């Protein structure tokens, strides 16, 4: 279980065909497990970039990221994948469920060909119950509403018991009421499971409900407020 993630002068530059886009400028940040962090900022300010670096989905151009002091990204791809499986759960704005799989099958995908100590089917049903979808176990994504789909995605993100949950605008495609529901779910997971939750949002009201709010602009952290009451 990773307790602390540190960014040391992390810089991310996208190079594409002669054009350089600096997505993140020298950032020094640290995240602790158990925190409930929201990231807010205008479009293109580097929120998704930050999140993907946090979740080992990409490599920084400069600087280093340590996970309890270890530089995971220096490892081989399969090892990084193993790390991701053990520690990180991802939730996307577009849900990214596999359209050909039922809810439970989608939830089971991260466990695919992985050895785990628990019963996979049981665990999948358990997490689906946790997100309130015990009656939609065998539904295909196309038969579910957006909120339900995102809940399946959350179930998928937590089925392998990660210590960190990273969500990129999880409520972005939902109406505010459903968004609220999803937010509550994340908060609940943070409190009950002790996961570190980092979520990106455009919704200032939702963001303000986090106990740490990071505001980004042009690839830099503009403000980092901790200790805001939930």
Ligand X SMILES: Nc1ncnc2c1ncn2[C@@H]1O[C@H](COP(=O)(O)OP(=O)(O)OP(=O)(O)O)[C@@H](O)[C@H]1O
- Interface with ligand X (CB under 6 A), residue from 14, 138, 175, 223: 14
- Interface with Mg ion (CB under 5 A), residue from 27, 37, 45, 48: 48
- What is the SS3 assignment for 116? coil
Span of 37-45, 64-72, 98-106, 123-131 interacting with other proteins by CB under 8 A: 98-106
18 makes contact with ligand X (CB under 6 A) = no
- Encoded one letter per residue, x for contact with other proteins by CB under 8 A and - for no contact, window 193-212 reads --------------------
218 makes contact with other proteins (CB under 8 A) = no
Q: How far is the CB of 47 from Mg ion (least distance, A)?
A: 5
Pick between residue 21 and residue 191 the one whose CB is nearest to ligand X: 21
Span of 10-18, 33-41, 62-70, 120-128 interacting with other proteins by CB under 8 A: 10-18
Pick between residue 34 and residue 44 the one whose CB is nearest to Mg ion: 44
227 makes contact with other proteins (CB under 8 A) = no
Q: Is the distance from CB of 106 to CB of 156 less than 8 angstroms?
A: yes
Helices (H) and strands (E) in the chain, counts: 7, 9
93: left (phi > 0), else alpha (psi -120 to 50), else beta? alpha
Place of tokens 């009950």: 192
- Encoded one letter per residue, x for contact with ligand X by CB under 6 A and - for no contact, window 21-60 reads x-x-----------------x-xxxxxxx-----------
182 makes contact with ligand X (CB under 6 A) = no
Beta strand residue intervals within 68-219, DSSP E: 88-91, 164-168, 196-200, 212-217
- Give CA separation, 90 vs 14, 20, 178, 205, in Å: 22, 27, 19, 22
Size of the site for other proteins (CB under 8 A): 41
Phi and psi at 210, nearest 5°, equal: -80, 160
Would you tell me how many other CB atoms lie within 10 Å of the CB of residue 119?
10
Q: Which among 230, 153, 225, 129 has a CA at the least distance from the CA of 184?
A: 230
Q: Is the distance from CB of 214 to CB of 39 less than 8 angstroms?
A: yes
Place of tokens 């993630």: 5
What are the residues binding other proteins (CB under 8 A)?
Answer: 14, 16-19, 48, 51-52, 55-58, 77-78, 81-82, 84-86, 88-90, 92-94, 96, 98-101, 105, 109-110, 112-114, 140, 156-157, 160, 168
């Amino acid at each position: 279980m990773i307790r602390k993630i540190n960014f040391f002068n992390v810089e991310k530059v996208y190079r594409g065909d002669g054009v350089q886009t600096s997505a993140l400028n020298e950032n020094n940040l640290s995240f602790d497990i158990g925190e409930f962090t929201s990231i807010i900022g205008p479009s293109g300010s580097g929120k998704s970039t930050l999140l993907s670096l946090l979740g080992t989905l990409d490599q920084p151009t400069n600087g280093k990221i340590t996970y309890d002091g270890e530089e995971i990204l220096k490892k081989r791809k399969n090892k990084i994948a193993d790390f991701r499986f053990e520690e990180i759960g991802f939730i996307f704005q577009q849900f990214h469920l596999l359209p050909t799989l039922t809810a439970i099958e989608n939830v089971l995908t991260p466990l695919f060909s992985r050895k785990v100590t628990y019963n996979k089917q049981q665990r999948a049903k358990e997490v689906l119950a946790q997100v309130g979808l015990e009656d939609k176990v065998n539904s295909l994504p196309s038969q579910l509403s957006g909120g339900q789909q995102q809940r399946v995605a959350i179930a998928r993100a937590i089925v392998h018991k990660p210590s960190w949950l990273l969500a990129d605008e999880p409520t972005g495609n939902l109406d505010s009421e459903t968004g609220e529901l999803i937010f509550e779910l994340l908060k609940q997971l943070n409190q009950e499971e002790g996961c570190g939750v980092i979520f990106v949002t455009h919704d200032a009201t939702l963001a303000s409900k986090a106990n740490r709010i990071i505001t980004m602009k042009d690839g830099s952290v503009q403000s980092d407020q901790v200790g805001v009451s939930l």
